[in-house]
Structure 1
Amino acid sequence: MTLQISATNPEHPGLLLDLPWGLPLDEWPEHHLVPLPRGISRHVVRYARAGDEVLAVKELAERPALHEYELLRSLDRLGIPAVDPLAVVTGRTGEDGEPLETALITRHLGGSLPYRSMFETTMRPSTMNRLMDALAVLLVRLHLVGFAWGDCSLSNTLFRRDAGAFAAYLVDAETGEVQTTLSRGQREYDIDLARVNIAGELLDLEASGALHPSVDPIEFALAITERYNDLWTELTRQSVYPANKRHYIDRRIRRLNDLGFDVAEMQIGSSSDGDSVTFLPKVVDAGHHQRQLLRLTGLDTEENQARRLLGDLESWMATQDDYAPGDPAGARTEVLAHRWVREVFRPTVRAVPLGLRGGMDPAQLYHELLEHRWYMSEEAEGDVGLETATEDYVRRLADSASDEGGEPREDGERPS
């Protein structure tokens, strides 16, 4: 047999040739390996270094290896969070001339951990909930593109924490299948497997003493079904709005927030029926919005204020011709964010006279103006616009102050 390396990048085969392909993976010398935590797998998996790359190498039969390699490439093209496929090595033979299993090579996902490593210190239930939310987001995203996983579990997932956000990445696609769309039965099969697998994995953690005593493994496993169904419904139901119904979009964002998800990306497209809106959810940790708003705009606010202001910023950016969705940390987004501060935030705040603010800081005032716009739009059954809402807000404040003998209203009380 002849050793053959099929790679996504023409530079990789040269780097990979130096690895000891003539030895079974569990016999590779230590100087080739990188001591990183590994999850549970039915196959032998090792982390190795090739040049500047850290690779995950998995041994399995040739047919499933090639199948998984192509599936991972498809997921990469679809923009789904999964490990990055680099190569497949076939035609391996040992020193005795006997054939060795094919090796599937993926790039190590920096900053990620398998779930068991995350439970080495007892994890708080609130953190566990966010991890389960991240897994629900991953499963929904897979199903939206027609990918039936066939073995959803904590063991087949890597978790990454980045600037307060939690994300789950598919790490094992061996049992997967890509179709144009999935039937309800196919999706429910995946969800049932996830529930059973997660219950078993959490029961194992409980038996080893690594699970928080307040956590019921069965209830946690059942919860992912509810989280999945809620998120699937919110993301897949009809999302076409008339152009003057922007408050409908705000309502959808609020519902996602109530489910515990942030909006990582929003796209607005025009059609003959109205504006169609798509959302990409993200699971976030406490303080995430505060840090993100400070980084993008320089505004230092409380967490709930930051969440509301970021929602308005995202909605405003999606209407700009030079908005580039999918690059939330990019330079273009920062330029737009500063433009929003200059053209929207500051002029709106300045439209409210200092004597009527009741001691509110600018972030709280803007938050209240957005709330006032929301209520007015709901009552009018159409978006009234921020300028109109601000004028009405100021008028009501002035009337209220006049009725109370010139005293401004208390901070946080919406004008009636």
Structure 2
Amino acid sequence: MKTKITKKSVQKKYGLNKSFKFCLVLILLICFSAGCISQTSNETAISNYTEKIGSVGSDNNIENNQTGTATPEKSTGESKSLRELFNGYSNYIQELFPYFIPETINNKIPWEESDPVIPAIKVYTYKDLKTSDGIIYEARINAETGKIRSVYESSGYLAPSGEVKLTLDEGEEIARSFVLKAFGQDPDDIGDPDNIFTTIKTSNYVNLDRFNKLGKAANIYVRYYNKYEGLDGGPVLQMTINSISGNVTSCQFNIPNLQNHTFSSSVPSVSLDEAKEIIEEKIDEKYPGEVKTYEFLNDDKSEMLLWDTGVPVYYDNTTPVRLIWELEFNVERNIGAEPDISKFDDSTYGAVIDAHSGEILCLFYKDITIDYLKKYY
């Protein structure tokens, strides 16, 4: 069976930029723990640490100086044993998610691993955190900063029965308060001490019509992302909120340190039409005469021309941040081009083009697989 790539599924998997990242083979917010080590090897790795470790939080970029801020033990400036450190993280998670059953968090030893979305980030993963209604969660703590990295429903999302009670404005205020409690800073200030970015906030109900028909209440999705010189720099803070209870049900915080990065020109050397032609020529070269027409989706250039502030910036601060075209498209095939497939192909394909060099960074079409992020995984 041919794998279908739709905009919805791609956004779940590759959501580091406003539209999508076609090249990450991971699911954002609802991802499985790729590359997890076994519990036995994890305990071995933990035991190999020095029993007494110094505080990292005291010299973090993110301070904990606001009233009401949830403060993990790591940020006290004192030397802590691993047990004390992990218990501090457990308390921190419990403060942020008070509806988690305490017995499923307390005295838990986390897994140490690379973050499945950004492998350069080391995290402590707390598994099997449960709620009274039987939902199971995973929570990740950034091992360097001691701050929450992500939380998601590992048992799968279960929409509550009933009608939406919260407005989008109310959902946005809940998200803002959550960020303030988790980081001690307002969303507009996180990760941007030099104020080089403009922070944009968006919110929406997730699949509202579909859940209404099922008698369920859709989640509220709140996203804060950065713009630089008018172009999208990708999601920074993302949260989903139960529209009945107001509980934050998942979160993903991607906060790259871009203070030492330069940016390439915001004026593309390769036009949108030229980027489309590059894709068509590559496919036609491999499958001459197969495609009758290409239908590129979304005519809004501002949603397709983006800064590549995803995985590469965590590994390289000497190369200017790349400007890219992110495109998705459908195809109609010529009759007889491939007898076992209808000429009407309902799959949506994706590609990423360097907006200055014209290099194809990502392209997935049949057995054409170009993936410039593969080396990081």
TM-score when normalising by structure 1? 0.29
| Greater helix share, structure number | 1
The structure with more radius of gyration: 1
| Greater strand share, structure number | 2
TM-score when normalising by structure 2? 0.32
Larger RCO, structures 1/2 (Cα 8 Å, 6+ apart)? 2
